[in-house]
């Protein structure tokens, strides 16, 4: 008897640059039943950091197409790809820009077209926001289904009326709980690797070097922490367009010996063990999966009040106003570290529905149900 082929889902990633959205989609891909559901990743041809080997080893495919800025080529290539592969589902992760792939998907006759909101916006990124605000009202036009990573992200893209009617499916940015649980042995081993003393204070951050993540303010906060504790270290993980600007700022503040730029890493779960606190002063977040990972690792977290409330799970968590001075942020960070005891919080994370084993099964059911509904 011939084995039944899995349902192939076209995951529209856009520009793959090693950010949080890609991490979330890959996390689901690793844990979903791939004998029943398979992913194909449709990415812009100028993407970087695509994990080709892992995707192919899991049975998936990477398909490169021209970036959406080349509108006609993009539409033509994407439509052709969707028709040739006879996809039943297109799942777009590019927020307001989903209008472009979902239009092509409609023209290609794809029955299930999911628009997924992973983010919001902020006035400081006004140039970037112009396109977002123009496209936002059209985000629902070519979609058959709406999805979001938090209530805030869902309401922002699809509107209060649609959200209140229960038409937006909330898919949690779930994680592998065992992978991110606190481990004293890994902490000691990794600190030794990085040349950090056992009792040295380490502030950590994981995120792309872009305006949204607010690295300028983060480094200012660390500078104040360093004045109070001149042995403190800041570890920054990630890459992005503002990386060199941040290196210059660190140099100007004479903090070069106390700030480690680690670039893109595959061992972030172990790096969380090294930190004593996690800082995320973002201008906005759809959710902030790094905060879920950090809390699972038992880290006290200090973030901006622009992060959705769903991200708060443990008590060792403070949300501060971005209008507050860097000194205030530094004081709160030092205080929360002093009053916190590092331990394993995976059971709390699981209770809050961020367990990838459970959530991946929910996504499987969702895909199957939508395909079935459209086949009737």
* Structure tokens given for 252: 């100007």
Residues 6+ apart with CB under 8 A from 280: 205, 207, 213, 288, 290, 291, 301, 302, 303, 304, 307
Quick: pLDDT tens for 308-321.
888 999 899 999 99
Quick: pLDDT tens for 200-213.
999 999 999 999 99
Predicted confidence (pLDDT) at residue 125 exceeds the cutoff of 60: no
Across-strand partners of 63? Answer: 42
Give the pairing type, strands 37-44 and 61-65: parallel
Residues of the chain above pLDDT 90, percent:
81
Residue 36: CA count within 13 A, CB half-sphere? 13
Across-strand partners of 44? Answer: 65
Backbone φ/ψ region at 44: left (φ over 0), alpha (ψ -120 to 50), beta = beta
Predicted confidence (pLDDT) at residue 355 exceeds the cutoff of 90: yes
Residue 222, φ and ψ in degrees, nearest 5 = -60, -40
Which is more confidently placed, 144 or 18?
A: 144
Which is more confidently placed, 255 or 344?
A: 255
CA distance 24 to 289: 8
Predicted confidence (pLDDT) at residue 134 exceeds the cutoff of 90: no
* Structure tokens given for 277: 């606190």
* Structure tokens given for 56: 């192919």
3 state DSSP class of 228? helix
Confidence band of 135 (pLDDT split at 50, 70, 90): low
CA distance 288 to 295: 11
Mean pLDDT calculated for residue range 63-92 = 94
Residue 204, φ and ψ in degrees, nearest 5 = -125, 155
Integer angstrom CA distances of residue 371 from 143, 172, 305: 14, 21, 38
Q: How far is CA 43 from the centre of its chain?
A: 17
- How many helices (H) and strands (E) would you count in the chain? 16, 13
- The chain-wide mean pLDDT, for the chain, equals 92
* Structure tokens given for 118: 């992973």
Mean pLDDT calculated for residue range 190-218 = 95
Predicted confidence (pLDDT) at residue 105 exceeds the cutoff of 90: yes
Mean pLDDT calculated for residue range 148-157 = 92
pLDDT at 208: 92
CA distance 147 to 335: 38
* Structure tokens given for 26: 């890959």
Max Cα distance, the chain (Å): 71
Mean pLDDT calculated for residue range 172-198 = 95
Buried residues in 100-139 as b, exposed as e (16+ CB within 10 A): bbbbbbbebebbbbbbbbbbbbbeeeeeeeeebeebbeeb
Confidence band of 119 (pLDDT split at 50, 70, 90): confident
Mean pLDDT calculated for residue range 177-196 = 95
Confidence band of 307 (pLDDT split at 50, 70, 90): very high
* Structure tokens given for 364: 């499987």
pLDDT at 69: 84
Pick the range with the lowest mean pLDDT from 93-97, 123-127, 351-355.
123-127
CA distance 76 to 73: 5
Predicted confidence (pLDDT) at residue 373 exceeds the cutoff of 80: yes
Question: What is the gyration radius of the CA atoms in the chain, in angstroms?
Answer: 21
* Structure tokens given for 272: 């969380």
Confidence band of 71 (pLDDT split at 50, 70, 90): confident
Predicted confidence (pLDDT) at residue 130 exceeds the cutoff of 70: no
pLDDT at 229: 96
Quick: pLDDT tens for 30-41.
999 999 999 999
Contact 57, 29 (CB under 8 A): no
* Structure tokens given for 122: 């902020």
Mean pLDDT calculated for residue range 127-136 = 63
Q: How far is CA 87 from the centre of its chain?
A: 25
Helix (H) or strand (E) holding 158: helix 151-158
Structure letter (DSSP) for residue 199:
T
Helices (H), the chain: 20-31, 52-57, 71-85, 99-107, 126-135, 151-158, 160-164, 177-180, 184-193, 215-228, 243-252, 268-274, 289-296, 326-338, 346-351, 356-375
* Structure tokens given for 257: 């010996």
């Amino acid at each position: 008897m011939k084995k039944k082929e899995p349902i192939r889902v076209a995951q529209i990633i856009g520009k793959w640059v090693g950010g949080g959205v890609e991490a979330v989609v890959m996390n689901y891909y690793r844990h979903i039943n791939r004998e029943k559901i398979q992913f194909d990743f449709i990415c812009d041809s100028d993407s970087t950091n695509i994990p080709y080997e892992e995707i192919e080893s899991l049975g998936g495919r990477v398909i490169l197409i021209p970036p959406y800025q080349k509108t006609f080529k993009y539409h033509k290539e994407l439509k052709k790809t969707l028709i040739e592969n006879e996809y039943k589902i297109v799942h777009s992760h590019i927020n307001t820009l989903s209008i472009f792939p979902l239009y092509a998907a409609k023209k290609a006759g794809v029955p299930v077209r999911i628009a997924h909101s992973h983010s919001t916006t902020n006035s400081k990124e006004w140039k970037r926001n112009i396109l977002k605000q123009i496209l936002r009202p059209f985000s629902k036009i070519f979609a058959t289904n709406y999805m979001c990573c938090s209530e805030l992200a869902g309401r922002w893209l699809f509107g209060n009326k649609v959200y209140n009617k229960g038409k937006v499916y909330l898919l949690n940015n779930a994680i592998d709980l065992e992978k991110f649980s606190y481990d004293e042995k890994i902490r000691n081993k990794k600190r030794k690797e990085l040349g950090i003393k056992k009792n040295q204070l380490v502030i950590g951050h994981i995120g792309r070097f872009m305006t949204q993540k607010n690295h300028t303010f983060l480094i200012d906060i660390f500078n104040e922490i360093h004045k109070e504790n001149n042995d403190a270290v800041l570890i920054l993980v990630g890459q992005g367009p503002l990386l060199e600007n941040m290196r210059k700022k660190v140099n100007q503040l004479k903090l070069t010996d106390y700030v480690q730029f680690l670039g893109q890493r595959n061992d972030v779960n172990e790096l969380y063990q090294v930190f004593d606190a996690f800082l995320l002063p973002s201008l906005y977040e759809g959710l902030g999966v790094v905060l879920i990972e950090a809390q699972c690792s038992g880290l006290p977290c200090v973030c901006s009040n622009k992060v959705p409330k769903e991200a708060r799970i443990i008590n060792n968590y403070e949300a501060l106003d971005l209008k507050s001075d860097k000194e205030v942020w530094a004081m709160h960070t030092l205080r929360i570290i002093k009053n916190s005891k590092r331990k394993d919080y995976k059971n709390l994370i699981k209770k809050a529905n961020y367990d990838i084993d459970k959530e991946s099964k929910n996504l499987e059911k969702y895909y199957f149900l939508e395909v079935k509904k459209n086949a009737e």
